[in-house]
Amino acid sequence: MALWLLPLKGMLSGGRATLVIFDEPDPAHVQQDSLDALMLRQLLGHFETAGIDLVSTGEYKEGQAKKYDIIFYVGTKDDMTLPTYLLDDLFFRKGELIWIGANLDSMAARHNLESFGLRQIDDTDNHPTNRVEYKKKSLWKLDTHTYAVEVVNPEIDQVVAWAIADPSAKPPSGHNEMYGPEVIHAGQPAPTEADLTALSMPPLDPKLNFDIEPLPQPTPEPKPEISKEERLPWVVRGKKFWYVASNPFSYNVEGGAYLAFCDVLHDMMSSGIKEAKHPGFVRLEDVHAMRNGTDLIAAADYLQSKKVPFSFTLVPVYVNPATDQTVYLSSSPEFLEVVRGLINRGGTPILHGYTHQHTGESAVDYEFWATDTDVPIAQGPEYAAERALRGLSECFLADIFPLAWTTPHYAAGQVDYESLHNYFTTVVERRQPIDKLGSDQFFPYVIYRDMHQQIILPENLGYIQPAAGRDAAAILQDADNSLVVRDGWGSFFFHTFLDLQLLKDVVEGMGKLGYEWVDLRDFNNKVRTEDTVAISGVGQIDLTLKSQYLKSMTLDLHGKRTDETYSFRPVTGNVSLFASTHQGEIQVYQGAYTAPPYTFKNITKFRPAVSGITNPIAIFLLFVGLAILIVFLVIWIFLLSRKATQEFRNVLRARGRG
């Protein structure tokens, strides 16, 4: 099996029972007030646990802590009055406690923090810091709020990461323009479509020569100014108590302090991983019928020449209401030739919506988000299911088999994600933990099971766009910082209308940093509809056929069919089997309404029944074959024994004459 096949971490029950407690939300802002706890829950999907539960401080029941091996408290609201029974349960527990952010003063007022080996300097977060030092790297910290603590017993506690106040430091290139608080921070208004264009976020138009305008800030949270140098503990580790001195999820940008927290989670969760290989992952973005095919193939040729496997996000139907255009993959020979050309060069398709639009142009508009009202388009699971099925059907008609999903513009509602998990085991994206545009979270490593039971492969470096401050140097700096995560990925995407040299610079630079390029096909992925399943790696196959032949085919790394078989006759009912592929292969199981003629030439294309199928012909042929085999075996044994008997008699006769 392939080196990078996903283990079943995060899906097993052998880990520790985990509880996340967060501050009681304001009834008017439940989603926003829950955001940071949900982001933590998503990250915990990287680790093996025996379940992850979330409760607010108001929902917590006295004694509940006893059920859990490890507890996180996420403090995001200052001056919260925490229940005394909660404070007592947390203080006296024997298992590990990780306290993040605010309200440590509440614990200090009731119990002696020095028994944990530290004390608070004061109860405010007005100790501004803008960098975090961790593993000899300096990571940018955009949220300057920091609580001040000091270690009073080094035999109990050690400082794992330091928060630094550096008045001379400036934000990395692109972060001011692309990641303002109204985009990232919980509870801030989402940007409008016009704001997105001004920021050079998707949609991207290479012909536009615009100035980047800052987003409006109707209710920005004031941040303390940095006026002097200071050095404060940021992550403190004790025997059973951890403290993180600010909210690591606030302003979590590529290459930032959030990465240090993601790595420390390994130690908090006792993962046992000290250091691992660093996968590199590249995808070509927004492949649709109006993309320049020459540019796409040129990028694919370069990646193939460097032996870099790649994926591409495929929009199978291009729609532009302004020009009354609709172009289908299955009926556009030119577009299909380009897509097959990408696959032939080692590319793996990822479904990127059905049309990547709702009322506007494909790849410009949102497919699952209503930008005028800033809410998900769908209020039920049917919409996402319909878009996914239409997109997959269009691909299957063209004999194109995606292996994963990427949400258009990373914007969808929780009901959409819940629906999509019925069709895709794997997604490659950032994901919104709440129904708020701009809340999407990136992951530096694989999330083996997220809130919606999907595997999330990371995209943690963003995309190349020099006009927004995200040139090759900025991407590579963030890739270098991402190495601070012991099993961190370097995953980015590229729009092929940009200068190809930008892609070359990033690919070559990441190679020098030590990233090892991985192929989506080398992971356990499964895409399924009622009568079609495409799989890589290993997994269970379940189909429901309606008077259809069971068709099975193997596609090699270049999309070539190396094997194709059919059941002897049409099947009605459920089919279940276990599939295992070789590295780089995709195995497809599909219900087909026609099959090749059953001739001697095609005899190798037909196989006996599989589990779940009642096939009298196959069963009859199987028994006939076994009967013939047994007859031949009996005859062979008879002849062999007869020959041995004759030889024995000859020996006896020879002795008698002697």
For residue 613, pLDDT over 50 is answered with no
Residue 402: both structure tokens together? 């995606």
Q: In angstroms, what CA-CA distances link 340 with 63, 347, 621?
A: 59, 9, 39
String of b and e for 187-213 (b: at least 16 CB within 10 Å)? bbbbbebebbbbbbbbbbeeeeeeeee
117 φ/ψ sector (left φ>0, alpha ψ -120 to 50, else beta): left
What is the per-residue pLDDT for 3? 40
Q: In angstroms, what CA-CA distances link 157 with 70, 235, 262, 273, 339?
A: 18, 10, 20, 22, 56
What is the per-residue pLDDT for 79? 85
Residue with tokens 């991402």: 482
Rounded to an integer, the average pLDDT of 412-440 is 97
Residue 120: both structure tokens together? 């608070």
Residue 648: both structure tokens together? 């024995």
Backbone angles phi, psi at 139, to 5 degrees: -110, 135
Query: Is the Cβ–Cβ distance between 315 and 355 less than 8 Å?
Result: yes
Tally: H helices and E strands in the chain: 14, 29
What is the per-residue pLDDT for 139? 96
Maximum Cα–Cα distance across the chain: 120
What is the per-residue pLDDT for 55? 98
The CA distance from 632 to 636, in Å, is 6
Q: Which residues contact 321 (CB under 8 A, 6 or more apart)?
A: 359, 360, 361
Cα 447 off chain centre by: 6
Query: Is the Cβ–Cβ distance between 551 and 565 less than 8 Å?
Result: yes
pLDDT, greater one: 174 or 122 = 122
The CATH homologous superfamily for domain 279-522 is Glycoside hydrolase/deacetylase (3.20.20.370)
Cis geometry, peptide bond prior to residue 203 (ω within 30 degrees of 0): yes
Neighbours of 598 (CB within 10 A): 14
Is residue 637 very low, low, confident or very high in pLDDT (cuts 50, 70, 90)? Answer: confident
What is the per-residue pLDDT for 618? 55
Q: What is the pTM of this model?
A: 0.86
Say which DSSP state 23 is in: P
Burial-class residue 554 by CB neighbours within 10 Å (0-12, 13-18, 19+).
middle
Query: Is the Cβ–Cβ distance between 362 and 417 less than 8 Å?
Result: no
- Least confident span in 18-22, 77-81, 323-327: 77-81
Is residue 85 very low, low, confident or very high in pLDDT (cuts 50, 70, 90)? Answer: very high
Element (H, E) at 341: helix 333-344
What is the per-residue pLDDT for 648? 64
Which 3-state string (H, E, C) describes 622-640? HHHHHHHHHHHHHHHHHHH
What is the per-residue pLDDT for 651? 64
- Least confident span in 169-173, 210-214, 626-630: 210-214
What is the per-residue pLDDT for 173? 59
- Using alpha carbons only, give the angle 4, 510, 311 rounded to the nearest 5 degrees: 50
**Orientation of helix 293-305 relative to helix 500-513, angle to 10°:** 20
Query: Is the Cβ–Cβ distance between 405 and 426 less than 8 Å?
Result: yes
For residue 129, pLDDT over 50 is answered with yes
For residue 568, pLDDT over 90 is answered with no
Is residue 200 very low, low, confident or very high in pLDDT (cuts 50, 70, 90)? Answer: very low
Residue 191: both structure tokens together? 């940007």
Element (H, E) at 39: helix 30-44
Is residue 122 very low, low, confident or very high in pLDDT (cuts 50, 70, 90)? Answer: confident
Rg of the chain over Cα atoms, rounded to whole angstroms, equals 30
Is residue 596 very low, low, confident or very high in pLDDT (cuts 50, 70, 90)? Answer: confident
Domain 16-185+221-268 in this protein, CATH class? alpha beta
Q: pLDDT, tens digit, for every residue of 306-343? A: 999 999 999 999 999 999 999 999 999 999 999 999 99
Residue 271: both structure tokens together? 């993962």
pLDDT, greater one: 512 or 168 = 512
For residue 396, pLDDT over 90 is answered with yes
What is the per-residue pLDDT for 226? 78
With a pLDDT cut of 70, the percent of the chain lying above it is: 86
DSSP annotation string for 463-502? B-BGGGTB-HHHHHHHHHHHTTSTT--EEEEE-TTS-HHH
Cα 113 off chain centre by: 38
